[in-house]
Each structure stands twice: as C-alpha cells, then as structure tokens.
C-alpha cells in the first residue's frame, strides 16, 4: 500500500517513534501490536485477579501499597536521595576516566608492556570478582581503623572509592570490547600516516570504540546508581537507608515503593538521553555536517 510506504519513511513518524523508544505503528505492524496488547491485557488481568483475590492481599496491600504511607515517606527519602545522586555523578566521572586507562593499558602490545598488561588483567579480575559490599565495608570501616595520619575518615569518601574501584573493572572490559571491535585496518591506516601509537589511539581508535559501547556503558551507570545505596551499610543516611528507617518506624513497606519510584525516575531520562546521543551521532554521519 502506497500510504504505508510513505509513512515508513516519513521523518515525522520516525521522530515520534524514536521518542517512544523505537516503537513503530504502521500497517501490518499495527495488527501485531494490537494482538500483543490484547494478550498482555488478558495476562495482566489474570495476574491482578489472582493477586487481589488471595487471602493475604488486604494485609499486603495495607503494608506495601498504602498511599498515605508512600506519600508520607516520600519527602525524607527524596531529600536523602540527593546524596545518592551526588555520589553516582562524582563516581561516574572518575570511573569513565580510570576504566579507560585500565582498558588502554590492557590493549598495549609487545613484550615490554607485559607488566602493565598483567596489572590491568589482575585488576579487572579482582574488581569484578569481589562483592561490592565487601569492598565498601573494607574501605569504609577498615581503612579509617588503621588510624594512619592523612587517611580520610569520611565514609562517603571511602564508599565512593570502593564504587570507583569495583565499577572501573566492569567498565574497563566494556571499553576493551569497544577497542577490539574497531577493525585493525583503522590502526594500520593511522600508523601509516605517521601517527604514534598514542595519537592513533586517541584520534582514531578510541572515538570509534567509545561510540560503539555507549549502551553497555549506560547499563553500568544505571547499576552504579543503585549500588550507591550500599553506602548505607556504613551508616550513611541516603535514600535506601532512609527507606529502611521509615519502614522500621512504621512497620510498613510503602517507603520502598517511594524509593523505587525515585530510582526509576532517574533511570528513564538517562536512557532516553543515551538513545538521543546515539541517534544524533548516526544522523550527523548520514546527513552530512558543516566543515569539521
């Protein structure tokens, strides 16, 4: 049908569907979507019926889903959430930089660089293998206990260091995947022009590598946002700790829903921002820009 073909290439439809995270509504696709919606509705209906008719539902509803509890808990938790935001924003910057360093060290070739490469490998293995909560406890409670002069006592500081340590291991591997996905002929071309290894890395390989791994980088970032809650084991009152305080005071769990809403609220714009970054990069390359 002529109209379907037009709509597929219509830039306005493209833009709207991109904003919806890539959903398309067109022609034959619409039938499929309708079927999916109906079957989902039926499934959810059955689920809701099963849950709300169960004998324990009134008590669960009262303790988990009471709007009064949730809205009472929300202001304190939102205030405490600011600390989570600060932690993950600061940590993420350090992680992105430090992990890149580790990944570059790991990619160095030649026997003379073996010690650095080995160090990077060991680092990634340890950082990813050890439970994050253990690192936070070790650094947050253990480091200050050594009572060395000049060693900061701040628990937020050590929790941040722990998170940077652990997450850099994961993110370094993501970078490494990106670097290895760039075809070696790119490096050959760059080196042939006389660029040094470092210049080739900086100008040719890394820009391509990083663009390719933006979605998994975002994944790790989102994981980091939630792991900022681990600082609560050191006693710091951030969103999840505040949630637990509220829950223990009222013997209800509505506070957890308030906290969950906040975490999800942060995640969604970040995911859309990433989609936009990727789309913009693709658009720039396809539409042709002004002189570089």
Q: What does the DSSP assignment read for 96-125?
A: HHHHHHHHHHHH--SGGGHHHHHHHHHHHH
Q: Binding of another protein at residue 292 (CB under 8 A)?
A: yes
283 binds another protein (CB under 8 A): no
Q: Is 110 in the site for another protein (CB under 8 A)?
A: no
Q: Which residue among 38, 82, 122, 273 contacts another protein (CB under 8 A)?
A: 38
Among 11, 59, 129, 149, binds another protein (CB under 8 A): 59
Q: Name the segment binding another protein (CB under 8 A); options: 97-105, 123-131, 152-160, 218-226.
A: 152-160
Interface residue with another protein among 17, 219, 244, 274 (CB under 8 A) is 244
**DSSP for residue 230:** G
By CB under 8 A, the residues from 220 to 239 that bind another protein are: 232-237
Out of 17, 63, 219, 274, which residue is the one contacting another protein (CB under 8 A)? 63
Buried-state track 278-288, b at ≥16 Cβ within 10 A, e below 16: beeeeeeeeee
Closest Cα partner for 262 from 86, 72, 81, 92?
81
Toward another protein, which CB reaches closer, 121 or 274?
274
Q: How many residues bind another protein (CB under 8 A)?
A: 73
Q: What is d(CA 211, CA 22) in angstroms, rounded to the nearest whole number?
A: 19
Rounded to a whole number of angstroms, the minimum distance from the CB of residue 135 to another protein is 15
Exposure pattern of 55-85 as b/e (b: 16+ CB <10 Å)? eeeeeeeeeeebeebbebbbebbbebbebbe
Work out how close the CB of 119 gets to another protein at its nearest, in angstroms, rounded to a whole number: 26
By CB under 8 A, tell whether 276 contacts another protein. no
C-alpha to C-alpha distance for 172 and 176, rounded to whole angstroms: 6
Report in angstroms how near the CB of residue 141 gets to another protein at its nearest: 5
Q: Which of residues 162-201 bind another protein (CB under 8 A)?
A: 185-186, 188-196, 199
Residue 210 CB, nearest distance to another protein (Å)?
10
Of the candidates 204, 217, 229, 255, which one interacts with another protein according to CB under 8 A?
204
Q: Is 2 among the residues that bind another protein (CB under 8 A)?
A: no
Contact positions with another protein (CB under 8 A) in 128-147: 137, 141, 144-145
When binding is defined by CB under 8 A, the residue of 96, 108, 121, 250 that contacts another protein is 250
Answer yes or no whether residue 261 interacts with another protein by CB under 8 A.
Answer: no
- What angle, 0 to 180 degrees and rounded to 10, lies between the N-to-C axes of helices 254-287 and 214-227? 160
As measured in angstroms, the least distance from the Cβ of 73 to another protein is: 12
| Neighbouring residues of 258: CB distance < 8 A, sequence distance ≥ 6 | 70, 71, 73, 74, 77, 243
Dist CA 258 CA 252 (whole Å): 12
- Binding flag, residue 1, another protein (CB under 8 A): no
Distance of CA 164 to the CA centre of its chain: 14
Rounded Cα gap, residues 243 and 263, in angstroms: 12
């Amino acid at each position: 049908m002529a109209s379907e073909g037009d709509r597929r290439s219509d830039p306005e439809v493209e833009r709207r569907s991109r904003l919806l995270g890539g959903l398309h509504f067109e022609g034959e696709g619409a039938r499929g979507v309708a079927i999916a919606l109906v079957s989902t509705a039926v499934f959810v209906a059955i689920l809701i019926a099963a849950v709300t008719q169960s004998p324990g539902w009134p008590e669960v509803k009262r303790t988990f889903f009471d709007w009064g509890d949730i809205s009472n808990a929300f202001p304190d938790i939102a205030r405490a959430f600011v600390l989570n935001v600060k932690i993950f924003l600061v940590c993420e910057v350090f992680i992105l930089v430090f992990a890149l360093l580790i990944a570059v060290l790991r990619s160095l070739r030649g026997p003379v660089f073996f010690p650095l490469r080995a160090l990077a490998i060991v680092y990634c293995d340890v950082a990813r293998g050890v439970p994050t909560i253990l690192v936070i406890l070790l650094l947050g409670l253990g480091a200050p206990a050594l009572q060395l002069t000049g060693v900061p006592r701040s628990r937020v500081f050590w929790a941040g260091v722990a998170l940077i340590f652990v997450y850099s291991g994961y993110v370094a591997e993501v970078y490494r995947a990106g670097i290895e996905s760039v075809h070696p002929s790119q490096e050959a071309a760059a080196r042939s022009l006389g660029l040094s290894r470092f210049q080739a890395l900086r100008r040719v390989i890394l820009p391509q590598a990083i663009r390719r791994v933006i979605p998994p980088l975002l994944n790790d970032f989102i994981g980091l946002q939630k792991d900022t809650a681990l600082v609560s084991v050191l006693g710091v009152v951030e969103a999840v700790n505040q949630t637990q305080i509220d829950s223990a005071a009222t013997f209800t769990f509505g506070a957890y829903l308030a906290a969950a809403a906040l975490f999800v609220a942060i995640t969604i714009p970040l995911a859309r921002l990433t989609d936009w970054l990727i789309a913009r990069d693709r658009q720039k390359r396809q539409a042709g820009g002004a002189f570089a």
